[in-house]
Structure 1
Amino acid sequence: MLTDMSGTYRRGVTETVAMVDRRALAAVGVTLVLWASAFVSIRSAVAFYSPGALALGRLLAGSAALVVILLLRGERLPPRAAWPGIVVSGVLWFGVYMVALNWGEQEVDAGTAAMLVNIGPIVIALLSGFLLKEGFPRPLLIGLAVSFGGALLVGYSMSGAGSSSVLGVVLCVVAAVSYAIAIVAQKPALAHASALQVTTFGCVIGAVICLPFAGQLIDQVGSAPLPATLNLLYLGVFPTALAFTTWAYALARTTAGKLGATTYVVPAMVVLMSWAFLAEVPGWLTLAGGALCLVGVAISRRRPS
């Protein structure tokens, strides 16, 4: 009888864990699709909005959507223990990262930006291995190496000769390191607060950090065409409010290193979306790089033997 009960209990625990894993996987899937779509929307908006104004407009739209949802759900302020991680992620990810990336992409070509920003998952794995005690599983390290190689191929195939500046390179590296540190800081906060709380107040803090660009945003809203402004609002509501919340939900249920590795799916998705929506036909080297990114992510998700 005790053996049967023990077996039933173990099966129940296994089924529960599997259900949580599926939900986390679905959540990160939503995040990656929306983040990939953001690159297509930014292409439209960045021609009419400066880097700071675009970041502020996106964060204001995201904050408004998140605060409404937070109030409707009846959630309150996060507990004190969650605030250090929320503040760090708000300043670095929602603030510094978005401005640095927007600015950097004006100084370097898209391929170079993609290569530089994709050092982020490697930094996440190193920081989380040391600071969060997640260790360095062999599948994760191999998967990161394969995916980074794919990202390099995608970036190289998209790079233009002589179109990069030292400032642009520095800004892209700052963006990558900023979001890596922010994710590692965000992980402990999720042990004390919900994904919605962490995302909402992080987004609000990022908007406050970007308030010095308010004058630019006001001027540019008046002159930008409607499609560019609609893309700005889309960036705020979907790739920011929704995608960052689903990311936090998944981060609370898996390791930062493994989740960071999944972002290597984004370059492959961007290639396909650019092909579908912008009629930008990728070359064979780009397709090969995208395939390598996907293979690397699959390897990183394997359990150590």
Structure 2
Amino acid sequence: MPSSTQTSEADTGQTARSSTVVVAILFAIVCLTWGTTWLGIKLAVDTVPPLLAAGLRFVIAFPLLYLIARAQRAPLLFPEGQGGLFALIVVLYFALPYLLINAGEQYVSSGLAALLFSTMPVFTVIFSVVILREPIWATQLVGIVVGFFSLGMILHEQGVGFAYRSLFGAAAILLAALLHAYCYVTTKKRGAAIGIVTFNTLPIGIAGLALTLVGLIVERPDVSQFSATSLGALVYLGTFASVGGFLAYFHLLKQLSPVVLSFVFLIFPVIAVILSGLLEHRSVSPAFAGYCVVLIAAFALTKLQIGRLSRARA
């Protein structure tokens, strides 16, 4: 018969393997849900105006997040003295960026939108240098330069020139990525002690309510024109993409290093491009595919800290 020590070691090994499998499944869920988000937005704004679509997505997500907050006994309000940060998160993290994304996806493909938004970690590096006085590394600088060159070539390959409609769509999504990066860095500086559930629940509810009301007043939507596909996409975005992806991502934050987990932002654009090509009937040229590979590889370089070019200030 096996000894108690052998049994204990076997149980430990089995637990470790089970944990690895769970982590792998959750990582895949995050990549798939966030990769399909862009197609979901594209389908949602097909018949639902962008302001209203952004608001309804959050209105759907809020009750689920509220239940999670109650179950975890997490506070809904930010700590005293953090009212300014709370307003910033409501406006610059939820309301304005998602309005820009929904508006932008009316003029560019869902795959291109995901690639544009994948610049967010690069903007985070830049804001970290400017706001947090963190050092910048040679690999990060090379990755930023090569990455944005590749992005420019991708826009050229996709025909996004100086035509107002397509240029507006690309600029709107890039601005959304920049705003998200600014909020991440500002939160790191001013609100690192705020819990993840607290950070998201009430801001997403207020942003959703505000966007929905403004959308109803400004856009005057004809509800009879909303398709079942668009409404289904909104339900998917509010539940699986927002809440499901959110839970999986922040569970992984406790299991993986931030550097490893940040590669999610390099994987989900690939999924989005593939889905965009399949379901939006857009051909993917060899040049476009090549620039996508260079873009993702360049942005991966920004996660390697080799060759310090500046030092953090006290």
CA 1:108–1:230: 2 relative to 1, 3 Å: closer
For residues 55-70 of structure 1, what are the structure 2 equivalents within 5 Å?
A: 55-70=54-69
Q: Which has the larger radius of gyration?
A: 2
Q: Equivalent residue for 1:234?
A: 236
- Structure 2: give runs of 5+ residues left out of the alignment: 1-18, 308-314
1:254 deviation in Å? 6.8
CA 1:109–1:290: 2 relative to 1, 3 Å: closer
Deviations along 1:253-283, whole A, 9 cap, x unmatched? 877x998786354433321222344453411
Q: Equivalent residue for 2:85?
A: 85
> How many residues are paired up?
284
Please give the root-mean-square deviation of Cα atoms over the aligned residues, in Å.
Answer: 3.8
1:46 deviation in Å? 1.3
Is the 1:122–1:144 Cα contact (8 Å) retained in structure 2? Answer: yes
The higher relative CO (CA closer than 8 Å, separation ≥ 6) is in: 2
Distance in 1 between residues matched to 2:275 and 2:86, nearest whole Å: 32
Deviations along 1:127-170, whole A, 9 cap, x unmatched? 11221233212222323333333333333222256643475566
TM-score (norm 1): 0.74
Q: Equivalent residue for 2:300?
A: 298
Distance in 2 between residues matched to 1:172 and 1:254, nearest whole Å: 28
Is the 2:78–2:199 Cα contact (8 Å) retained in structure 1? Answer: no
Letter in 2 for 1:97: P
Q: Secondary structure at the match of 1:92?
A: helix
CA 1:291–1:144: 2 relative to 1, 3 Å: same
Distance in 1 between residues matched to 2:48 and 2:110, nearest whole Å: 17
For residues 130-149 of structure 1, what are the structure 2 equivalents within 5 Å?
A: 130-149=130-149
Is the 1:27–1:250 Cα contact (8 Å) retained in structure 2? Answer: yes
For residues 120-199 of structure 1, what are the structure 2 equivalents within 5 Å?
A: 120-159=120-159, 163-165=163-165, 168=169, 171-188=172-189, 191-199=192-200
- Structure 1: give runs of 5+ residues left out of the alignment: 1-18
Q: Secondary structure at the match of 1:106?
A: coil
CA 1:244–1:129: 2 relative to 1, 3 Å: farther
Deviations along 1:40-96, whole A, 9 cap, x unmatched? 112222110111011111111121221122222332235516654343122112100
Q: Equivalent residue for 2:47?
A: 48
Distance in 1 between residues matched to 2:248 and 2:141, nearest whole Å: 25
Q: Which moved more, 1:197-206 or 1:165-174?
A: 165-174
Q: Equivalent residue for 1:267?
A: 269
Q: Which moved more, 1:211-220 or 1:265-274?
A: 211-220
Deviations along 1:99-129, whole A, 9 cap, x unmatched? 1222233356778866765654443222112
Distance in 2 between residues matched to 1:201 and 1:89, nearest whole Å: 10
More helix by share: 1
Distance in 1 between residues matched to 2:66 and 2:115, nearest whole Å: 34
Distance in 2 between residues matched to 1:120 and 1:162, nearest whole Å: 23
TM-score (norm 2): 0.72
CA 1:216–1:66: 2 relative to 1, 3 Å: farther
Q: Secondary structure at the match of 1:80?
A: coil
Distance in 2 between residues matched to 1:174 and 1:300, nearest whole Å: 20
Q: Which moved more, 1:182-191 or 1:215-224?
A: 215-224
Q: Equivalent residue for 1:6?
A: none
Is the 2:111–2:275 Cα contact (8 Å) retained in structure 1? Answer: no
